[in-house]
Structure 1
């Protein structure tokens, strides 16, 4: 029985070997599958060299070109007026901003005026006898003297004797003491130096104002200036009177500015030079942050492309006969997102957008070519 089982197994093994041999022979003759070549579709552009205007970016905040910090030179109570001293309040040129109670000082001024008048009146009899030729002009001065008005200028001295006589009676010193008091009296009323708006108010009506105290800030909202810092390498491009493009951060609004001043020294820490740009627009406010594009030199025989198209070894990808290749270029100017290049011949097919994993020799086809198929 055992011999019969072994014989059957042997026959089956021989038959299986024959079938396996036939299968291997048949599979050996089948052709190997051909791997399909992958061709990437890319966006391209044709090089057309020309003049490229270099734009120097800068930014800064607007500040009113005419602004005044209001300080008090006298002491007293802030008197209320017809217009409240509040931020946002508009004033015309010459209009009173602040009135300080000056009743005590006014009394001193009037007392000094009276003393001057009395001292001149006291010498009139002597002038009639000793200096009859000058008597009339001093009499005219007394006749025009008004205690309710600013003191008039003393008559001109016509001789050395007259000068000694008038000065010796203390009239000249009394006059200048009076003018000093009158000058100080004018400081009790602070007027607007120009038409503008109050942006800061640190006191209110009834406040005791002290000498040297800051009272507020006043600006002219019709014209602003922006301070920008530009690399010293572009200092020769900053020209007074040149127009500058300004825009807000969202690029939704644009304005026209003019370079009004350029600092003559370079900041040693940042190696930048400061320029000031004037801008007028009713929509602008102090403190608004703007970006500026200052016109630089025009680079000839160049093109402007995205910075991410420039390789680390100062080469760019070009397309030749459906394959990617590299070509050396000369970068002339870098901005935040763009680079100006020279050295590419006209008509060169250049990548318009970077291709992930790109390498020299990669099969590609342009987007336009695929669209025409």
Structure 2
């Protein structure tokens, strides 16, 4: 019993001694001194200002459109007949091809009948002309021979005197001629010829359908001459002028040359449209509806090129002075896609060329 009590008392004593020694060691452990030489530091990307002549091309994206986009409408009524090419969307044609023909055999027959009647009128006045106007007989006789019901009317001879003019009017020659001329003009409206090389963009009627005056038949586009509409920043217009050559390239990287044909004088969606003229004769690299990259050749300007993200509040940059940053005003000479050409900062100065979320006045900044 006494032995157990002794060992228990010894254990309690040892534990108390261990706790006391531990507390003493903790209290006597030296506290490390604070390093007063350590500061808050941050490395920033910088570049030394050096002005050079920078030639910066401007690249924009534009869309190709047809220079001529014509809507065809019927001027007369009748059944649509087959022309020289198929009347289908996408079908190509050449300038002068008959692309739309409307049934006109009845009109042609009526015109031939009118010309026959006109010949009859001429035949009745020729004897009188020979007697009363012998000096004019030869020209009217030749005109009579030139009139053919199957061909177009020849030019009407000119009357050389008022008496001759009165005679022609009173015998119905003048009214008969101009009536036939009007019928010939009307007949031409039954046939539509292609005004340029191109293709059908849309077709609204089918062969065999009946057209009425004013009804839309199709839309045609010119394939030889295209136009590229390029929206550009208004600030870049001073580097562009009508007649400048512009390089355009399609999605495959094939490059062609275009010319600035005109520049809008108004802003749409914060940009100005520049129109490029492109001669596509015999080429298929650039087609209507496609998007192309347009590279406008830039002139050399003195300046310093920095990333656009380094611009602060639209017209400032951060300059590294000592170990601190200060806002320095700049002049923006040219705005490029990812870069900006600036001036206004003294040469050899260090400016920050990256975007900073914020600037701490208590922070020391170091170049990297």
Query: For the superposition of Structure 1 and Structure 2, which TM-score range results when normalised by the shorter chain?
Result: 0.7 to 0.9
Between the aligned partners of 2:279 and 2:255, the Cα distance in structure 1 is 12
**TM-score for the superposition, normalised by structure 2:** 0.80
Range with bigger deviation, 165-174 or 277-286: 277-286
* 1:143-177: CA deviation from partner (whole Å, max 9, x where unpaired): 23222111212222122211111111010110011
2:144 to 131, 142, 145: 142
After superposition, the Cα gap between the structure-2 partners of 1:261 and 1:31, relative to the gap in structure 1 and judged at 3 Å, is closer
- Does 1:338 pair with 2:339? yes
Which residues of structure 2 form unaligned runs of 5+? 1-9
Alignment of 1:237-256 (within 5 A): 237-246=239-248, 255-256=256-257
1:131 to 129, 133, 138: 133
Structure 1 counterpart of 2:100: 98
Question: Does the aligned pair in 2 maintain the 1:95–1:191 contact within 8 Å?
Answer: yes
After TM superposition, give the deviation of residue 335 of structure 1 in Å.
4.9
* 1:92-113: CA deviation from partner (whole Å, max 9, x where unpaired): 1211111211111011101110
Structure 2 counterpart of 1:48: 50
Between the aligned partners of 1:175 and 1:201, the Cα distance in structure 2 is 38
Alignment of 1:47-86 (within 5 A): 47-53=49-55, 59-81=61-83, 83-86=85-88
- What SS does structure 2 have at the residue aligned with 1:328? strand
Which residues of structure 1 form unaligned runs of 5+? 1-7, 367-373
**Considering only aligned residues, what root-mean-square deviation do their CA atoms show, in Å?**
3.8
**TM-score for the superposition, normalised by structure 1:** 0.79
Between the aligned partners of 2:130 and 2:174, the Cα distance in structure 1 is 19
After superposition, the Cα gap between the structure-2 partners of 1:251 and 1:346, relative to the gap in structure 1 and judged at 3 Å, is farther
Between the aligned partners of 1:244 and 1:134, the Cα distance in structure 2 is 63
Structure 1 counterpart of 2:325: 325
Range with bigger deviation, 35-44 or 178-187: 35-44
Between the aligned partners of 1:16 and 1:133, the Cα distance in structure 2 is 154
- Does 1:279 pair with 2:278? yes
After superposition, the Cα gap between the structure-2 partners of 1:364 and 1:153, relative to the gap in structure 1 and judged at 3 Å, is same
Between the aligned partners of 1:313 and 1:139, the Cα distance in structure 2 is 86
Between the aligned partners of 1:106 and 1:191, the Cα distance in structure 2 is 18
Question: Does the aligned pair in 2 maintain the 1:99–1:190 contact within 8 Å?
Answer: yes
- Does 1:306 pair with 2:307? yes
1:113 to 112, 115, 118: 115
The total of aligned residue pairs comes to 356
Structure 1 counterpart of 2:199: 197
Between the aligned partners of 2:158 and 2:254, the Cα distance in structure 1 is 63
After TM superposition, give the deviation of residue 183 of structure 1 in Å.
1.5
Question: Does the aligned pair in 2 maintain the 1:317–1:324 contact within 8 Å?
Answer: no
Question: Does the aligned pair in 2 maintain the 1:232–1:266 contact within 8 Å?
Answer: no
Between the aligned partners of 1:128 and 1:255, the Cα distance in structure 2 is 69
Structure 1 counterpart of 2:215: 213
After superposition, the Cα gap between the structure-2 partners of 1:126 and 1:170, relative to the gap in structure 1 and judged at 3 Å, is same
Structure 2 counterpart of 1:260: 261
- What SS does structure 1 have at the residue aligned with 2:109? helix
After TM superposition, give the deviation of residue 80 of structure 1 in Å.
2.4
- What SS does structure 2 have at the residue aligned with 1:181? helix
Alignment of 1:177-196 (within 5 A): 177-196=179-198
Range with bigger deviation, 189-198 or 38-47: 38-47
Question: Does the aligned pair in 2 maintain the 1:88–1:197 contact within 8 Å?
Answer: yes
After superposition, the Cα gap between the structure-2 partners of 1:314 and 1:16, relative to the gap in structure 1 and judged at 3 Å, is farther
Range with bigger deviation, 349-358 or 131-140: 349-358
After TM superposition, give the deviation of residue 314 of structure 1 in Å.
4.6
Range with bigger deviation, 304-313 or 122-131: 304-313
After superposition, the Cα gap between the structure-2 partners of 1:91 and 1:143, relative to the gap in structure 1 and judged at 3 Å, is same
